[in-house]
Copies of this chain bind each other. A is one copy, B any other.
Amino acid sequence: MVATFQNDLFLRACKRLPVERTPIWVMRQAGRYLPEYRAVRQKYDFLTMCKTPDLATEVTLQPIDLIGVDAAIIFSDILVIPEAMGMHLEMHEGIGPVFPHPIRNESDAQTLNKIDPTVDLKYVLDAVALTKKELNRRVPLIGFSGSPWTLLAYMVEGQGSKTFSKVKYLIYNNPKLAHRLLDKIADAVAIYLCAKIETGVDAVQIFDTWGGILSQDDFEEFSLNYIRKIISEVKGKGVPVIMFAKGVHYHLNNLAESGADVLGLDWTMNIGDVRKKVGDKVALQGNLDPTILYADHEKIKYEARKILKSFGKGSGHIFNLGHGILPDVPPENLKALVNFVKEESVSYHMDD
């Protein structure tokens, strides 16, 4: 299967197979930093873009054509799952996504439905199918989901939060309900990812954006357990699973043993140190500080070179940012990064 892509570097790196150079894609690569994205966004609101396969496909393809990254990631949002489970989702300018009726107690929890992705998230699957067709096997396509913990945090808080007081209140005062919810969300995530894979995505990434707000024991209990569960259910489908947990510096070994093929690293990690620790178990993805893309091209190259050097020779590295690309980054800076990594990384994959 792998051999049928024009460019399968990303998939080979996920499996730590030999590559001619290090592949690169970036989180949020289909996003606001691109004028071509903003031109679409000006005409349609964010959720309409997610729910209209033509539009989702159009912006998914933009960074492939314009920037030259080695993988596409389907344009969507992690909150489509809670919405499919029955929560009303709104986008508020300047705040971001908002659930006006957050989940706080047993009776709120009762309102959440089991999802059937072929019905409730048909628009995502249609976008996947259309994108696959338009990609025409140029590069692989990644599907994604939030982790159960990260989704629960949003569903309980109702919106982003500095302290996550409400979801913490829930796990400390009604852990049984929290576990029941996490279990239900994990089921939804697993069948959603499986449906995406069946429709054609070539890899999946799980984002645990808010894992880092938990203490070490709480992370194990409320996040890692459910990540493991999802991976074990998705694993049989035969595509690589990428696990990205932000701010989780402890538990790197546990994450590497979660069944994931690839561990995504934020920019506060030293990729070389992590490789020494867990690199024989998983490939590593990352991890340039996204704000480096504000700098001039020389500085961008200097920092990218540091990461390539830190990882060192051999396969199993997928270059990426350590978090999503920021909306006010000049696209030519990302292009400079991508071109540099493509060139510079060649020597890391040659025999001595």
Interface residues of A (CB under 8 A from B): 163-165, 168-169, 172-173, 212, 214-218, 247, 249-250, 267-270, 289-292, 294-296, 299, 306, 322, 326, 328
Shortest distance from the beta carbon of A273 to any chain B beta carbon, whole Å: 8
Our pick among B250, B291, B292, B322 for the contact of A270 (Cβ within 8 Å) is: B250
Distance, CA A212 to CA B323, complexed state (A): 14
CB pair A268–B212 under 8 Å, yes or no, is yes
Shortest distance from the beta carbon of A27 to any chain B beta carbon, whole Å: 13
CB pair B168–A289 under 8 Å, yes or no, is yes
CB-defined contacts of A270 to chain B, threshold 8 Å: 216, 250
CB pair A289–B218 under 8 Å, yes or no, is yes
Distance, CA A222 to CA B102, complexed state (A): 40
Instruction: Name the residue of chain B whose CB is nearest to the CB of A296.
Output: B173
A165-B328, A326-B163 given as contacts; is B172 within 8 A of A214 (CB)? no
Instruction: Name the residue of chain B whose CB is nearest to the CB of A273.
Output: B250
CB-defined contacts of A218 to chain B, threshold 8 Å: 289
Our pick among B172, B216, B291, B306 for the contact of A292 (Cβ within 8 Å) is: B172
CB pair B268–A173 under 8 Å, yes or no, is no
Distance, CA A292 to CA B299, complexed state (A): 42
A216-B268, A268-B250 given as contacts; is B289 within 8 A of A165 (CB)? no
CB pair A247–B250 under 8 Å, yes or no, is no
CB pair A165–B215 under 8 Å, yes or no, is no
Shortest distance from the beta carbon of A1 to any chain B beta carbon, whole Å: 37
Our pick among B250, B268, B328 for the contact of A214 (Cβ within 8 Å) is: B268
CB pair B267–A215 under 8 Å, yes or no, is yes
Which 5 residue pairs of A and B lie closest in terms of their CB atoms, listed nearest first? Answer: A168-B291, A172-B295, A249-B249, A169-B294, A215-B289
Instruction: Name the residue of chain B whose CB is nearest to the CB of A218.
Output: B289
CB pair B172–A299 under 8 Å, yes or no, is yes
Our pick among B173, B216, B217, B247 for the contact of A294 (Cβ within 8 Å) is: B173
CB-defined contacts of A289 to chain B, threshold 8 Å: 168, 215, 218
CB-defined contacts of A268 to chain B, threshold 8 Å: 212, 214-216, 247, 249-250
Instruction: Name the residue of chain B whose CB is nearest to the CB of A169.
Output: B294
Distance, CA A267 to CA B247, complexed state (A): 12
Shortest distance from the beta carbon of A327 to any chain B beta carbon, whole Å: 9
Distance, CA A172 to CA B328, complexed state (A): 15
CB-defined contacts of A172 to chain B, threshold 8 Å: 291-292, 294-295, 299
Shortest distance from the beta carbon of A220 to any chain B beta carbon, whole Å: 12
Shortest distance from the beta carbon of A293 to any chain B beta carbon, whole Å: 9
CB pair B249–A250 under 8 Å, yes or no, is yes
CB pair B173–A295 under 8 Å, yes or no, is yes
Instruction: Name the residue of chain B whose CB is nearest to the CB of A164.
Output: B291
Shortest distance from the beta carbon of A134 to any chain B beta carbon, whole Å: 32
With A173-B295, A218-B289 given, can you name 13 additional A-B contacts, CB distance below 8 Å? A163-B290, A169-B294, A172-B291, A172-B299, A173-B294, A214-B268, A215-B267, A216-B268, A247-B247, A249-B249, A249-B250, A250-B269, A250-B270
Shortest distance from the beta carbon of A271 to any chain B beta carbon, whole Å: 10
CB-defined contacts of A250 to chain B, threshold 8 Å: 249, 268-270
Shortest distance from the beta carbon of A173 to any chain B beta carbon, whole Å: 6
